[in-house]
Amino acid sequence: MAMGKLDKKIILLKVGTATLTRGTNNISRGKIEDIARQILELKDQYHFIIVCSGAIAAAKQFIQLEKFGDEINQKQALAAIGQPHLMRLIQETFRELNLHVAQCLLSYHDFNNEQSKENTFNTLNILLKNGVVPIINENDTVATDEIKFGDNDKLSALTAILMEVDLLILATNTYGMYDEQKKTIQEVKNIESVKKYIQQQHSAQGTGGMHSKLEAAALAQNRQIETWLVNGHEENFMLKALKNESAFTKIN
């Protein structure tokens, strides 16, 4: 897959539905703008890839579907409806800051097929070289893995590995992982050793998702990619983490 090295480091940012909606029922233009402004500020130093969910949430803002089929099929249909709305919101917001975006829909299956992997690598590489920010979501029409579990956490790790990114940032709604005193664990080397805190965090914060984030981080760690768990609800969450002005968990 040799295609000429990129001139800048790559950050892969994963934003889930909870971050993008700020915990409400609507996609937050403000949060999209916050992300775009941070990318604008950092774009001379880094290339960015965003793995972004929120298609189902976007659809629910516009339509209520009649119930046919099971719950997962229903979600797939909503994702198909919501994806173009989600991209429209992202594209409009990024364009105002002179940033170009592209849409790439992927599934786990694509990472098991050499040809698909190569095609994906080449496409993303050309986008990055042209200063375009790829916005990736699961292709929910053909795959249901991330709708069932994970909200794109694993997809982001697989993409990070494929693109050999320098840093994987998983936005979440806490300041990383907390210990039993509710203090952020700043650095994790042994992922197994912090799994005991997940359940606690789940009940204390009323949020899920830490389990799949740790699984994603473990995949990345196996390939020497560092993962940061940062609080995506905070303004400038990436800038603050990069300047060490905000608490977050580094998994390396």
The answer to whether residue 249 forms part of the interface with ligand GLU (CB under 6 A) is no
Q: Which stretch binds ligand GLU (CB under 6 A): 140-148, 178-186, 198-206, 233-241?
A: 140-148
Could you tell me the CA-to-CA distances from 43 to 126, 229, 251 in Å, in that order? 16, 21, 24
Please tell me whether residue 232 adopts helix, strand or coil conformation. Answer: coil
Burial class (CB in 10 A: 0-12, 13-18, 19+), 52: buried
Pairing state of beta strands 132-138 and 187-188? unpaired
Give whichever of 93 and 221 is closer to ligand GLU, judged by the CB atom: 93
The answer to whether residue 110 forms part of the interface with ligand GLU (CB under 6 A) is no
Q: Which stretch binds ligand GLU (CB under 6 A): 121-129, 134-142, 193-201, 214-222?
A: 134-142
Question: Quick one: CA torsion of 80, 84, 87, 93, rounded to 10 degrees?
Answer: -140
The answer to whether residue 151 forms part of the interface with ligand GLU (CB under 6 A) is yes
Q: Which stretch binds ligand GLU (CB under 6 A): 35-43, 65-73, 133-141, 199-207?
A: 133-141
Give whichever of 18 and 185 is closer to ligand GLU, judged by the CB atom: 18
**Angle, alpha carbons 244-249-252 (nearest 5°):** 105
The answer to whether residue 79 forms part of the interface with ligand GLU (CB under 6 A) is yes
Where in 2-41 is the site for ligand GLU (CB under 6 A)? 17
Residue burial 121-144, b: 16+ Cβ < 10 Å; e: rest:
beebbebbeeebbbbbbbbbeebb
Give whichever of 101 and 185 is closer to ligand GLU, judged by the CB atom: 101
- Give the residues lining the site for ligand GLU (CB under 6 A): 17, 53-56, 79, 137-138, 140, 146-147, 151
